[in-house]
Chain A
Amino acid sequence: QSALTQPPSASGSPGQSVTISCTGTSSDVGGYNYVSWYQQYPGKAPKLMIYEVSKRPSGVPDRFSGSKSGNTASLTVSGLQAEDEADYYCSSYAGSLWVFGGGTKLTVL
């Protein structure tokens, strides 16, 4: 049950786009279309932003998008806004268990 690999940090200026990667294996990310992404502010509970690789729950801005290629999933935030500054975690179903990435701190410069 190894954690998925995310970069510890990412940054961008307001209006720019940023992509956060999430690398796993063929037993998790590559084996299922069940990758999800979560946004977490300090001291708060995580919030679902993307599920099933690229689907957005209602209420999530369309600036957030997800994709997957092989064993790597990605979250792209377009048109960065100050309120996007938060920690982001990916997760994948791995067959009777779930794994998370280590998290990426997104800074809006």
Chain B
Amino acid sequence: QVQLVESGGGVVQPGGSLRLSCAASGFTFSSYGMHWVRQAPGKGLEWVAFIRYDGSNKYYADSVKGRFTISRDNSKNTLYLQMNSLRAEDTAVYYCAKDRGTNSFDPWGQGTLVTVSS
């Protein structure tokens, strides 16, 4: 079955960096676009970034543009999110999600918590 497993979350100081990973299995990873979506504690969902199946196009939310970079390694079935210049407002659970090909998110990983605090 399709499975997405995030890792790399943790506590980081403001201004610091962190790289999240999302290991995919159960489907042909290289054929699908992938997203990162985050959810601040007690808040709603916020789309963060998308990468096309072949990495040729990447799109970002204004809130992270210039600070976050989405990438993928299709040979390792892994999606990444490099997060630089982190701010307190980036504190959230970060989910990776597969795009069905219909601009919808399915399935989602279990999420990894990023806490930005001094």
| B44 contacts the other chain (CB 8 A) | yes
| A69 contacts the other chain (CB 8 A) | no
* Inter-chain contact B104/A48, CB cutoff 8 Å: yes
Could you mark each residue 34-60 of chain B with 1 if its beta carbon is under 8 Å from any beta carbon of chain A, else 0? 010100000011110010000000010
* Inter-chain contact B105/A48, CB cutoff 8 Å: yes
A-B contact count (CB 8 A): 67
Pick from B44, B45, B47, B104: contact of A51, CB below 8 A: B104
Which A residues touch B47, using CB under 8 A? Answer: 91, 97-100
**Minimum distance in angstroms from A11 CB to a CB of chain B:** 19
Which B residues touch A1, using CB under 8 A? Answer: 61-63
| A38 contacts the other chain (CB 8 A) | yes
**Minimum distance in angstroms from A19 CB to a CB of chain B:** 19
Residues in B lying within 8 Å of A, measured CB to CB: 35, 37, 44-47, 50, 59, 61-63, 95, 100, 102-111
